[in-house]
Structure 1
Amino acid sequence: MLKRILLKDLTRNKVVTTTLFIFILLASMLVSSATNVIVELTDSMTSLFQKSHAPHYVQMYSGKLNQEEIDKFSSKTPCVKEQQTTELLNINGANIFLGNNGKNQANSVLENSFTKQNDKFDFLLDMDNQIMQIKDGEIGVPVYYMKQYNLKIGNTIKIINGNFFMEFTIKDFIRDAQMNPSLVTSKRFLISDNDWNTLKANIGEIEYLIEFLLNDINKINKFETLYQSTKLPQIGTSITYPIYQVLNALSDGIVVIIIILISILLIVISVLCLRFTLITTIEEDYREIGVMKAIGIQNSNIQNLYLTKYLLIASLASSLGYILSLFIGSFFTKNINLYMGTVNKSTFSILIPFIGSVLVFVSIVFFCKIILKKLKKISAVDALRSSKSINSVKYGYNLQLYKNKITNTNMFLGLNEVVRKFTTYGLLCFVYMICIFLMIVPLNFLNTIQSPEFITYMGAGKSDIRIDLQRTKQTQHLFNSILQNIKNDSDIEKYASFTTSSYKIKNKDGELENIKIENGNFKTFPLTYLKGSAPIKEDEIALSTINANELEKSIGDNLSVFSKNKELTLTVSGIYQDITYGGKTAKAMLPSEEDNILWNIINLNIKSGVNLEDKLKQYSIDYYPAKVTDMNNYISQTLGSVISQLRLVIKLSFIISVAISSLITAMFFKMLIAKDTSQTATMLSLGFSTRDIRIQYITRALLVLIIGVGLGIILANTLGQKISGLLLSGILNLQFVVNPLVIYILCPAILILTVFITITVISRAINKIKIISIIE
């Protein structure tokens, strides 16, 4: 009997059943996919770090090096397991020609280094995650360049500097636990010892990586504090193992977070649809439920009668969602497999995504049971004696037809129905709001990080051209020469120079630690400060949000900075957002110490009418070996992997939003038309045509859609901004850069067209309603 009732109910409401099934399936598939990405990301990154023996603490340094002092420190420090100092040969991009197209890397923001394979740890791995061995004439190229320039094994890499020429053949592509992500602007090429010595004798600048492996990874912070309290080399960037993990996980982590958010929204939509469906079904079966209660059937048995159907739908949809996630997994993990390698599936990695699907199933069943508790409120006597409903609609404001200023009566009646029963249409409005939210938030986020304005979230003011000059022996002379030439260049509208140096400060515990402070004129290319303003006096300092939080400093607080062996007390004048260098930067107007300078930057704007490309080419030649880039290229190269993953999310969110809007419209109005059969027959008897009634339903759908789209756009520009800002460490207040044509016209138009087509098709069911159906 139960089987017969179940089959009859499923066939009676095919659209409703199918819609609920697809919602639950999508939610299950995305939750399983998200957990699968998390597991695969964790396993692949763990494998990469283990096989490469990634260092726990690295200090970058350029200058004279006393290895004996480092060895003494290592031998006297019990927590140090291994220490090695790696030599990098930094070669300007203008001298590097990748592939067979003959194009150099002059306009690249990336710093390219050539190195030998290490002996103890920090190994560079091939695409099989094995320690790569290189012969003379061969080269291992970062996997980033393989993806960026479509390089292949056997292609050539050329190094040209005047009369000096060397050519290498790509043996394989390398995975580098330290420098894999695009956010890390340094990249290492692997060559043989002999080739490295040849290059060193003819080109490039030496930089050292002073690397440490510790006995206990949990003591990294203590070791960092200990190292920075010594007189060992500290002029340069220091990076720890956890930061390497964050940088490697960032771009794929963003995808995981967005997929989980979409999954949660789908579960919410599924529950709301389930509530609407169940209540409507119970209302339709109100008298039958009364009969069952009258003959002695218990509430629990009646509940199980309804619950069985949704148990079947939820279990099948969740199971199929999990199975589909196994097939589409590579769609989300492609980037992970490329940069970190593929790890064999374990029982654990298969079980966790399955648990995700089970959680979706359990949540659906849980809410279903809550909704079915309404059956207890039904009295057998009331159900048999009247047509009262457990969920009687409380009508809202009723518009008067004779006061109607809308010339089309059908449109007025459609509007009036939405106004009277807006609580009924609230579900539809909410779903449309979520659909437009899912469409435009990833688009706004992508548009924002691709825009020139995003440079302000990277701790720099907006400008046309950026010139980077890493610290070398000849840096100061070249830097001064560039500044003089720019000052005399009539094509330049304005410019500003900045020098970043390493200083020591007292942290919140009173211990000394290193900090990078950028010194210069911050008025020419101003930042937007979250609090306060830029430093304008020598006793002021501005801190990035992460530094301010870690140091527990706010506007007006004092900070001790040591310059030229003197303790200076600076007042915090402003707090700004910055995602570069782990988000830990500062700005001041301190005198730069020659020995502590890390790099120089010049920002400039060209005058209107001057060709930007020509200027970039000219400066790249004239100011060699400085890196000359326009801001668009700087952002796209630095955030390349994040941008690539966001495009993937945008495709996914568009497909899901269109599918949801179509399915929910079909389900909602299919049930509504069936429920309003008597009312429709009455209208037909009064002389309304089926076309008139269809126009009324179309008006209802489009009106609710417009309200939902409006609310969704508001929600995206408020809550969506805050959520997007949280995805990038160092940003507390992200402001979307919006493309009005796409966001306010194209996206709503897609939803409107989808809903219009769906409701037009569904409303054809009205043609089947006969006037005789009014007679009960």
Structure 2
Amino acid sequence: MYAVYSLCLANLRKKKIQNGLIGLLILLSTLLLSTSVTVIMNTSNLFTDMHNKTHGSHELLTLGNEIHDPQMVHQWWNKQEGVTSSKLIPFRVLVGINNQGKEQDEALSSLQLYMMDTPSRPYAVDELIFAQGNESLTPEKGTIWLPTSIAYLYEISVGDTLGFKTGESNFELKVSAIIVDVPYGAPFPTEARIWMNHQDYNEQIQSLAGKDQYMMGLRFDDYSQSTSYWEKFEQDIGTPYLGSRMSFGEISAFYLVMNKAIGFIMIFLGIVMMLVALFTIGFTISDDILSNYKTIGVIKALGLSSRRMIGIYLTQYALIAILSIIPGLIASQWISSVIVESALSSLKTGVTESSLGGNLITLAVGIFVLMLVVISVLVYSNKTRLVQPMQAIRYGMSESDNSTMTKRLTTKENNIMSFERAPLLVVIGLRNVLKNRKATLLMTLLSTIMSAVLVLGFVLIYSISNIKQTLPLWGYDSSDIYLRVVNVPAFSYEEISKKLVSDPRVKNIGWAGYVFGVVSPDKNLSSEHANTQPVNFQINILDGRFDEIGFTTLKGENPQSKNEIAIGISVAKKLKKEVGDVVEVYIEGNKHTLTVTGIYQAVANQSISARVTADVLKVNHPDYNDYNLAYINLVDHRDTDLIVNELNVKYKDSLSAQSVQTATDATFKQAVASLILPMSIMGLLFTGVTCIIVYSTSRINIRKESKIYGIYKSIGLTSTKIRLSITLGIVALSSLGAVIGIFVGVYLLPMILGSILLDYGIAELPLILNWGGIIAFACVTIIAAGLGSWASSRLVATTSPHILVIE
């Protein structure tokens, strides 16, 4: 045992740099793998914990437009056992906030606001958690409670005064508290609930023309039984439910989608990096056995058994692994916390720091990594059993390897590829690459992975930063201006439509609105796919052509007549419908038989939505013009800001105009911020690992070829030329890996990521391929490999030819 211990210490002392680099590689592998697992696990856990803490609703109902009696619906659900119902909360819709005393933010001024008549706390469902400000039963007069999703994103603090537009007049309220509002507090907010004092609501909001709408939340003791409750509800009221119904999946989607995608990428690449680490360890052990074949033979001849020889390597690398895994696990906790909190910042209360759970899982990851290292060491060090002392002492290798090498030297090679006329530096560089096949495979694989990671990160961030170009593929339009109705009584559809149509700068315009429809089970359907559960979804209405506004489909085309409908991929999946099939939809109490003309994807509502033309509504309501939004395309995009300003001045009492670029920047800037940190971490890790492995591998190869390089120097070849030739060979190798990595990062990894986003309504990930940037980031791989190779070749420059030849 003492001999094993002594030899283990000797290996650790003799190869400090090599052991240190392997230790760092294990540390980084552990860091990435542990971080990915922690991010995936805690993303769901933190949301679930907050949802449970607030007694969050599983379904949120919006009642209005006289489709159902809100009081009747509330009474029915309030009587059900196994269901907890919230109070019926009145609200009105406004658009835009102006933070007084600060420069006006166009994105903030375009938010859709649900002005809530706040009932007294506590709430049985969807309790509000106070993040800043003094906790109270209701907001004091002249104050509001603002959700964290808006406050954190737009840097609004307690004490700030906010201005609101009603169309007819403006009013101001002071922020007295910032609260976590789970149903409307997700990242990428386009709408929010503003909690008002009852007296302020009566004075400022209820006095406006129009009627109140109502919200109520439902929390089920067993959410899986919700279908049976809804079937009973619809039987009792005699009609399908035609109001808005936000499910738990829709509530949680934007909380989870970004970190789920990031975590998936990290765990996938973490596994790949771990495999690279294990391959590196195996390569190092194999090379060490071959380099010290004669020494191992002598030691075995002196009586040390093969089992104890294996024990030397096992002890050495187990110790390195333990010393590397521990700091990797500790660092992963901090990085995981930063990543999770950056995407779930709207759930931070500021009272107590959120701590990540799953320490046991993290420990299990560390043990798993250690086991993989041990198994890898056992597999590769088992080659010492094949070392025969007599052959090792005589040949310095096995007799069969010696025979093979002798034949190779004595046989005249007639290869197709000849280096006789190639430049000397190219010959030396390629010889170094082609002779060391395992090292070549390792560096090619590493260059491919690093290039793929860098390219994927760039493509994702660039695509989201320039999402205006791919908005239709995300389920949005591609118009230039949004025109939103903020004061219905002051709004004149005919007057404004006539004005916009006659404007020569306007190319086309489409007026839009939405209703909620439902497809109920039809017992008379003979189809084998007859639906057994009602599907409630938002139906987008357009007075105009969807294609002109920029809406697109994955299959088929957009609807054009009163008998047609396009549906989201999630609706198509639930209904088991394809293009050409017929669906029976209830819209505002009326039954419509429509043909599916297209299927589209949309990140909004998880593709649980549909599109119809206004002609469908005009079948039962010939004068229908209940629109709340207009999409405007211009002849010249450069006129956008000018026309937006003109519309806001001329129709300030009824409309709010905004450029689409401003709206998309506001919605997706959080997504870019959430992506930059993890993708930067992964990019830096893989860049560092590439340098480390190339440095370590090249150093091993140079030591093996020390005699050859000594001869080169002794016959007059300078150290710089030798180092340059070695570096050129590695650069050529990494260039091959970078080319393969571009393909993986642009096509393969997004395809895998798209499978994760399918549950969120995206079947095909819309990407923008900027090939200049892609090639530039792929070249970082080549530069990193070249720097690692050049640094390792310093060994040639610092050693004299005489010593190299002797070695």
**TM-score, normalization by structure 2:** 0.86
Aligned to 2:607: 583
Q: Which moved more, 1:154-163 or 1:366-375?
A: 154-163
User: In the alignment, does 2:534 pair up with 1:512?
Assistant: yes
Matches within 5 A, 1:454-465: 454-465=470-481
| Unaligned ranges ≥5, structure 2 | 522-529
Contact 1:92–1:106 (Cα < 8 Å) also in 2: no
Q: Aligned partners of 2:84 and 2:69: how far apart in 1? A: 20
Q: Which moved more, 1:241-250 or 1:264-273?
A: 241-250
Contact 1:684–1:690 (Cα < 8 Å) also in 2: yes
Contact 2:742–2:778 (Cα < 8 Å) also in 1: no
User: In the alignment, does 2:613 pair up with 1:613?
Assistant: no
Q: Aligned partners of 2:667 and 2:716: how far apart in 1? A: 67
The size of the alignment, in residue pairs, is 768
Aligned to 1:360: 369
Aligned to 1:311: 318
| TM-superposed deviation, 1:563 | 5.4
Q: Aligned partners of 2:356 and 2:464: how far apart in 1? A: 39
Aligned to 2:429: 414
Aligned to 2:216: 210
Q: 3-state SS of the aligned residue for 2:177?
A: strand
Aligned to 1:483: 497
Q: 3-state SS of the aligned residue for 1:591?
A: helix
| Per-residue Cα deviation, 1:414-468 (whole angstroms, up to 9, x for no partner) | 1354355555311101111111211121221122123212311332342222334
* Alignment-mate amino acid for residue 515 of structure 1: F
* Alignment-mate amino acid for residue 570 of structure 2: I
Closer, same or farther in 2 for the Cα pair 1:254/1:492, shift >3 Å? same
Closer, same or farther in 2 for the Cα pair 1:85/1:289, shift >3 Å? same
Q: Aligned partners of 1:566 and 1:391: how far apart in 2? A: 85
* Alignment-mate amino acid for residue 743 of structure 1: I
Aligned to 1:220: 226
User: In the alignment, does 2:439 pair up with 1:424?
Assistant: yes
Aligned to 1:3: 5
| TM-superposed deviation, 1:88 | 1.9
Aligned counterpart in structure 2 of residue 550 of structure 1, from 561, 574, 586: 574
| TM-superposed deviation, 1:573 | 3.1
Q: Aligned partners of 1:228 and 1:598: how far apart in 2? A: 27
| Unaligned ranges ≥5, structure 1 | none
Aligned to 2:524: none
Aligned counterpart in structure 1 of residue 704 of structure 2, from 675, 684, 700: 675
Contact 2:84–2:218 (Cα < 8 Å) also in 1: yes
| TM-superposed deviation, 1:357 | 2.1
Q: Aligned partners of 2:503 and 2:572: how far apart in 1? A: 39
Q: 3-state SS of the aligned residue for 1:55?
A: coil
Aligned to 1:156: 161
| Per-residue Cα deviation, 1:250-302 (whole angstroms, up to 9, x for no partner) | 33333333332332232122112112111111111222333344455443322
| TM-superposed deviation, 1:649 | 1.8
| TM-superposed deviation, 1:204 | 8.0
User: In the alignment, does 2:27 pair up with 1:25?
Assistant: yes
Aligned counterpart in structure 1 of residue 454 of structure 2, from 439, 442, 465: 439
Contact 2:227–2:533 (Cα < 8 Å) also in 1: no
Contact 1:502–1:597 (Cα < 8 Å) also in 2: no
Aligned to 2:115: 114
Contact 2:516–2:588 (Cα < 8 Å) also in 1: no
| Per-residue Cα deviation, 1:172-209 (whole angstroms, up to 9, x for no partner) | 21111111113452211223222222222445863311
Closer, same or farther in 2 for the Cα pair 1:769/1:465, shift >3 Å? farther
Q: Which moved more, 1:126-135 or 1:279-288?
A: 126-135
Closer, same or farther in 2 for the Cα pair 1:773/1:447, shift >3 Å? closer
Aligned to 1:248: 255
Aligned to 1:730: 761
Closer, same or farther in 2 for the Cα pair 1:294/1:551, shift >3 Å? farther
Aligned to 2:750: 721
| Per-residue Cα deviation, 1:138-178 (whole angstroms, up to 9, x for no partner) | 32222123222222222212335578554333222111111
Matches within 5 A, 1:645-684: 645-684=674-713
Q: Aligned partners of 1:106 and 1:33: how far apart in 2? A: 33
Q: Aligned partners of 1:512 and 1:263: how far apart in 2? A: 42
Q: Aligned partners of 1:495 and 1:344: how far apart in 2? A: 49
Contact 1:48–1:340 (Cα < 8 Å) also in 2: yes
| TM-superposed deviation, 1:118 | 5.2
Q: Aligned partners of 1:204 and 1:316: how far apart in 2? A: 70
Contact 1:543–1:585 (Cα < 8 Å) also in 2: yes
Q: 3-state SS of the aligned residue for 1:401?
A: coil
* Alignment-mate amino acid for residue 350 of structure 1: N
* Alignment-mate amino acid for residue 306 of structure 1: Y
* Alignment-mate amino acid for residue 30 of structure 2: S
Q: 3-state SS of the aligned residue for 2:752?
A: helix
Q: Aligned partners of 1:208 and 1:227: how far apart in 2? A: 18
Q: Which moved more, 1:600-609 or 1:84-93?
A: 600-609
Q: Aligned partners of 2:227 and 2:463: how far apart in 1? A: 34
Q: Which moved more, 1:82-91 or 1:578-587?
A: 82-91
* Alignment-mate amino acid for residue 216 of structure 1: D
Closer, same or farther in 2 for the Cα pair 1:419/1:59, shift >3 Å? same
* Alignment-mate amino acid for residue 467 of structure 1: L
* Alignment-mate amino acid for residue 217 of structure 2: E
Q: Aligned partners of 1:163 and 1:559: how far apart in 2? A: 42
Q: 3-state SS of the aligned residue for 2:184?
A: coil
* Alignment-mate amino acid for residue 303 of structure 1: I
| TM-superposed deviation, 1:528 | 4.7
Aligned counterpart in structure 2 of residue 502 of structure 1, from 516, 519, 530: 516
Q: Aligned partners of 2:361 and 2:607: how far apart in 1? A: 33
Closer, same or farther in 2 for the Cα pair 1:150/1:750, shift >3 Å? same
Q: 3-state SS of the aligned residue for 2:501?
A: helix
Q: Which moved more, 1:1-10 or 1:442-451?
A: 1-10
Contact 2:167–2:655 (Cα < 8 Å) also in 1: no
Q: Aligned partners of 1:198 and 1:386: how far apart in 2? A: 99
* Alignment-mate amino acid for residue 765 of structure 1: L
Q: 3-state SS of the aligned residue for 1:542?
A: strand
| TM-superposed deviation, 1:213 | 2.7
Matches within 5 A, 1:93-492: 93=96, 96-101=97-102, 103=104, 108-115=109-116, 116-117=118-119, 119=121, 120=123, 121-127=125-131, 132-133=136-137, 134-159=139-164, 164=169, 166-203=171-208, 206-227=212-233, 230=237, 234-295=241-302, 297-335=304-342, 338-341=345-348, 349-388=358-397, 399-404=417-422, 408-419=423-434, 421-451=436-466, 452-469=468-485, 474=489, 478-492=492-506
* Alignment-mate amino acid for residue 81 of structure 2: P
| TM-superposed deviation, 1:549 | 1.8
| TM-superposed deviation, 1:609 | 6.5
Aligned to 2:58: 56
**TM-score, normalization by structure 1:** 0.90
User: In the alignment, does 2:88 pair up with 1:85?
Assistant: yes
Q: 3-state SS of the aligned residue for 1:402?
A: coil
Q: 3-state SS of the aligned residue for 1:178?
A: helix
| TM-superposed deviation, 1:37 | 3.5
Contact 2:98–2:163 (Cα < 8 Å) also in 1: yes
Closer, same or farther in 2 for the Cα pair 1:643/1:233, shift >3 Å? farther
Contact 2:150–2:192 (Cα < 8 Å) also in 1: no
| TM-superposed deviation, 1:682 | 3.0
* Alignment-mate amino acid for residue 773 of structure 2: V
Q: Aligned partners of 2:589 and 2:355: how far apart in 1? A: 56
| TM-superposed deviation, 1:614 | 1.6
Aligned to 1:73: 76
| TM-superposed deviation, 1:672 | 1.1
Contact 2:433–2:729 (Cα < 8 Å) also in 1: yes
Q: 3-state SS of the aligned residue for 1:732?
A: coil
Q: 3-state SS of the aligned residue for 1:187?
A: strand
